[in-house]
Structure 1
Amino acid sequence: MTTRTALVVRGGWEGHDPVGTTELFVPALREAGFDVQIETALEVYADESVMSQTDLVVQSWTVGDILADEMHGLRVAVENGTGLAGWHGGLLDAFRNATDYHLLVGGQFVAHPDDTIDHEVDVRPERADHEIVAGLPPRLALRTEQYWVQTDAACDVLMTTTHAPRPTVPWHEPVTVPVTWTRRWGKGKIFACTLGHSVTELQEPTVHEMVRRGLLWAARGPR
Structure 2
Amino acid sequence: MRDAIVVRGGWDGHVPVPATELFIPFLRGQGFEVEVHDDLAVYADPERMAAADLVVQCWSIGSITDEQAAGLIAAVRAGTGFAGWHGGIVGAFHHNAYHQLTGGVFVHHPAGFVDHELTVLPDRAEHPIVREIGPVSLHTEKYWVLTDPLNDVLATVTFEPGPDADAAPEADGTPTATPWRQPVTLPAVWTRSWGAGRVFVSTVGHKLDDLTLPPIRTITERGLLWATRQN
Question: TM-score scaled by structure 1?
Answer: 0.96
In the comparison of the two structures, how many residue pairs are matched? 218
Kindly indicate whether residue 116 of structure 2 is the aligned counterpart of residue 119 of structure 1: yes
Task: Supply the distance in 1 between the matched residues of 2:116 and 2:162 (Cα, whole angstroms).
Answer: 13
Task: Supply the distance in 2 between the matched residues of 1:73 and 1:152 (Cα, whole angstroms).
Answer: 21
Describe the SS at the equivalent of 1:115: coil
> 1:110 is matched with which residue: 99, 107, 110?
107
Which structure 2 residues correspond to residues 10-49 of structure 1 after superposition, within 5 A?
A: 10-49=8-47
- Counterpart for residue 125 of structure 2: 128
Task: Supply the distance in 2 between the matched residues of 1:52 and 1:118 (Cα, whole angstroms).
Answer: 41
- Counterpart for residue 53 of structure 2: 55
The root-mean-square deviation of aligned C-alpha atoms, in Å, is: 0.7
Kindly indicate whether residue 159 of structure 2 is the aligned counterpart of residue 150 of structure 1: no
Unaligned runs of 5+ in 2: 165-177
- Counterpart for residue 202 of structure 1: 211
Paired amino acid for 1:84: F
Task: Supply the distance in 1 between the matched residues of 2:184 and 2:111 (Cα, whole angstroms).
Answer: 15
Question: TM-score scaled by structure 2?
Answer: 0.93
Which structure 2 residues correspond to residues 166-185 of structure 1 after superposition, within 5 A?
A: 166-168=162-164, 169-185=178-194
Task: Supply the distance in 2 between the matched residues of 1:110 and 1:201 (Cα, whole angstroms).
Answer: 20
Q: CA deviation at 1:152?
A: 1.1
> 1:86 is matched with which residue: 84, 87, 100?
84
Unaligned runs of 5+ in 1: none
Task: Supply the distance in 2 between the matched residues of 1:119 and 1:136 (Cα, whole angstroms).
Answer: 16
Task: Supply the distance in 2 between the matched residues of 1:25 and 1:9 (Cα, whole angstroms).
Answer: 12
Q: CA deviation at 1:115?
A: 2.6
The structure number with the bigger radius of gyration is 2
Task: Write out the 4+ residue segments of structure 1 that deviate beyond 6 Å after TM superposition.
Answer: none
> 1:191 is matched with which residue: 192, 200, 203?
200
8 Å contact from structure 1 (residues 115, 146) kept in 2 = no
Kindly indicate whether residue 59 of structure 2 is the aligned counterpart of residue 71 of structure 1: no
